[in-house]
Chains A and B, each alone.
Chain A
């Protein structure tokens, strides 16, 4: 058996990587997997680079940052599948929440506009900048918050102070007034709310009903040297997805995740995040694990929009080198999943369930809309 080292961060959206171990899916695919719980994303990134990890649960943006040459760069990281959709929440201080309510802001757009007024007011009375925390610079969290702020007329570069903090400490900083809000993966926002340190303002689905968030990452050279195992590993995680998608397994899943060696948070917080109205995490392998090139391009577009990279890369080539739908198809076919005909789709603009052309059967997809009504349309040749 090939031994494979897989890293993960203590978050609910590591579910499929963790469950594949608990359910014996790795062993069933002939892989001897050892999981390693990591304290931060930098460590996962570097361990993947230096061959101390072969695979990992990572932010969907992390392999793309590497592909764009951002951060310490050594080697390639590829993404053969997504690990579900959604799972993050934005938490703000109770004080800010009261202000928003006082202004009658109930939608995301209204709350962003309300925040603009708060920022103007604070500047007028010489109070400090509004400070928001994210867990990592090159993260979907960062892009979600910036997109939301910009939609309300806030300049995220000049009018907001950004800090990177570990999710486990964000609640404390919010309570102490160091930050005004944060975005992080569950169950930490729910934990903050249960402890009375802040209030969830919105979760991923309210921003984008089917938001890409985490992917399975493989060290490029490892995947090159072990092409069959790379597919087998992807298949093992997809199998875990088939189990996790069954609502009958929801309680068992929450109990596994809350264990100390995995997420290590109180069961109540884990369940609150997974419940309807929580962080909206969807783990269905058929509709949420395909590594869409259009997701990669949306993220790359955000890197460019916020000045994190120059605009002179071949974005199509980078997206296709990093996100690997071909590997997903090889892994998924024997499991009886349907294979999308295309690697890209429109992101946003689908308020109702819709049909995605696929083989052997078309796939019934959930609604796919962004809060501001925006549509990210792929150009087809």
Chain B
């Protein structure tokens, strides 16, 4: 049978995969610190005897959009957002260091500082930050945490630790299966804290999904899918005509 049917089918299948990557971006338009994924198609020529006659399409995720999401003021003392480039270092679910932009912090009953997704924030030494009972927690521009311990007055301000802020370069990071950013080079030493990264208290970074372009992308993928289907239909019609020609009169 004609291979064009398979090529068109493959195109339609890959378009559906791209559609789900796009749907994931749309589903996360309200997720704090979410970074949207790109999806793109690649031509995969199939080499056979002679010259390449067929080119399959393959969808892939070439990377993640690292641009900053919109900032929202919340006024809550434990909400922090990074101003400009940089990442918060957190303890990933596998125990290693991972990076995120979601700074909706809370203090666990054990006194550890973690974000809304339950990821522990790391201090300068790369260890989880422990916060003793405090009546007020302030986070400075450079991530320094100072507290007024419980039972003291405002003159007793204790500097605790500093949130590890890093800037390993967005090109060196990639999104892992846990949705966090990891260093591309497996097993590389974690980047050192960067003093040039600064945070703002009382703010949160929203998702960086551009809803408009995601919608346009969705329409485009849908039309692309219809085109592939049309090709399949035409191949089917052609096969029908051929079969008819072959029929004995």
- A and B bind: no
Interface residues of A (CB under 8 A from B): none
